[in-house]
């Protein structure tokens, strides 16, 4: 498919998504697939009952666009869709009926293992992370990859706490992936990445705060945030393992692009455990909640975190393209991660 045809198809996908969101909002209210605000305060402090159909529109539109564009079978994107659809169904049931956490976690592990094994999304070489030569994972690759996917799914789900935040972050990460694929001439990856971005931008028209919308009129839901995180993880691994004939970018770039959800989630986990609580307790310790509780408006909070995501992604990707060693990128990122975690624990 030519570039002009791809852009036309993407624009059609954007318009179709807008129409489906309009219809889906009404349908979600009828079937009760909505998020109800907490009556006694808490994390869910939005004023209205909000439909949870973001992912239920984005994923089907994306899959349809990929088949229309005839994305190459060599990407093994069909098995990926199988795993994503399974989680989309489980996530929708969780949004509707609140599945037990352990059951949801088991499904996350199963789907992540499926993607790692059957979708060629296994991290096998992490690069020269420590300065002593390339780190080859060997037989441990599948377990490590599945663990990373599960962590990413939960990290992005936890990021979904302010209007436009999770959707905007995913769009920013996709932007870096699209730029990397374009620079490397990886058209087989550029096409599906661009086609995924279009329904997400349509979603942000309803979910992010902007001059024409003061508050979100729909949410992504667990089905959407975790399904998109799974797809995002697959693209990240595929880009990091693909040779064109050179590597598109090193695996260490992934953590720089994903800095915001990863660093914030681990800082919150450490803080909760330091307080003697479960790492998975619900509270308002995440960065976006802290910013809002300090008096920053939700719209500014989202914008500032978007800017942070753009900057960290730029540092990782541009540094890698300039030849900065992998171990320098890892050690500098780790310093930021540990410094922020220590600060959060000390001031919790």
165-206 tens-digit pLDDT: 999 999 999 999 999 999 988 888 999 999 999 999 999 999
**What pLDDT score does 231 carry?**
94
**What pLDDT score does 270 carry?**
86
CA distance 79 to 291: 40
Q: How confident is the model at residue 346 (pLDDT cuts 50, 70, 90)?
A: confident
| H/E run at residue 194 | helix 187-207
Vertex 168, ends 164 and 170: CA angle to 5°?
130
Distances (CA, A) of 8 to 4, 23, 68, 251: 6, 23, 12, 32
pLDDT digits (tens, 9 = 90+) for 197-233: 999 999 999 998 888 788 888 998 888 999 999 999 9
Inform me whether the pLDDT recorded for 76 exceeds 90: no
CA distance 79 to 71: 13
Q: How confident is the model at residue 47 (pLDDT cuts 50, 70, 90)?
A: low
Q: How confident is the model at residue 331 (pLDDT cuts 50, 70, 90)?
A: very high
- Confidence (pTM): 0.92
**What pLDDT score does 317 carry?**
96
Average pLDDT over all residues of the chain: 88
pLDDT digits (tens, 9 = 90+) for 143-160: 999 999 999 999 999 888
Selection from 230-234, 280-284, 343-347 with the highest mean pLDDT = 230-234
DSSP 110-168: HHHHHHHHHSS----B--SSSSSS--B-GGGHHHHHHHHHHHHHHHHHHHTTSTTHHHH
Residue 227 CA to chain centroid, in angstroms? Answer: 8
The residue range of the domain holding 173 is: 3-346
Average pLDDT over residues 247-261: 93
Residue 138 CA to chain centroid, in angstroms? Answer: 26
**What pLDDT score does 23 carry?**
93
CA distance 56 to 91: 10
**What pLDDT score does 245 carry?**
65
Residue with tokens 């720089």: 256
**What pLDDT score does 177 carry?**
96
Contact between 152 and 258 (Cβ < 8 Å)? yes
Domain count, the chain: 1
Tell me phi and psi for residue 69, to 5 degrees.
-80, -5
CA distance 242 to 264: 29
**What pLDDT score does 38 carry?**
58
**What pLDDT score does 78 carry?**
80
CA distance 126 to 16: 39
Contact between 177 and 236 (Cβ < 8 Å)? yes
State the maximum Cα–Cα separation within the chain, in Å, rounded to a whole number: 59
Residue with tokens 């399904």: 227
């Amino acid at each position: 498919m030519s570039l002009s045809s791809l852009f036309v198809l993407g624009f059609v996908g954007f318009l179709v998504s807008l129409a489906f969101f309009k219809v889906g909002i009404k349908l979600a209210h009828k079937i009760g697939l909505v998020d109800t605000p907490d009556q006694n305060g808490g994390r869910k402090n939005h004023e209205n009952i909000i439909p949870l159909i973001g992912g239920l529109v984005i994923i089907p539109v994306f899959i349809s666009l990929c088949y229309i564009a005839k994305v190459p079978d060599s990407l093994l994107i069909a098995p990926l869709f199988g795993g994503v659809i399974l989680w989309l169904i489980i996530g929708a049931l969780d949004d509707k009926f609140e599945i037990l956490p352990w059951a949801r976690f088991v499904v996350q592990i199963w789907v992540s293992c499926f993607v790692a094994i059957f979708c060629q999304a296994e991290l096998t070489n992490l690069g020269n992370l420590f300065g002593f030569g390339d780190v080859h994972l060997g037989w441990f690759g599948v377990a490590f990859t599945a663990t990373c996917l599960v962590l990413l799914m939960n990290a992005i789900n936890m990021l979904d706490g302010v209007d436009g935040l999770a959707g905007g972050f995913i769009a920013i990460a996709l932007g870096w992936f699209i730029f990397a694929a374009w620079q490397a001439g990886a058209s087989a990856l550029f096409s599906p990445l661009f086609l995924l971005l279009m329904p997400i931008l349509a979603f942000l028209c309803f979910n992010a705060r902007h001059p024409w919308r003061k508050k979100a009129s729909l949410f992504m839901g667990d089905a959407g945030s975790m399904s998109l995180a799974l797809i995002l993880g697959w693209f990240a691994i595929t880009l990091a393992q693909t040779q064109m004939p050179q590597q598109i970018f090193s695996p260490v770039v992934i953590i720089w692009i994903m800095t915001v959800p990863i660093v914030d989630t681990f800082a919150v986990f450490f803080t909760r455990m330091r307080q003697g609580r479960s790492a998975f307790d619900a509270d308002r310790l995440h960065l976006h909640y802290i910013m809002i509780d300090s008096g920053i408006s939700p719209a500014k909070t989202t914008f500032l975190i978007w800017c942070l995501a753009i900057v960290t992604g730029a540092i990782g990707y541009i540094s890698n393209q300039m030849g900065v060693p992998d171990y320098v990128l890892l050690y500098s990122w780790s310093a930021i991660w540990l410094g922020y975690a220590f600060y959060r624990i000390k001031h919790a």
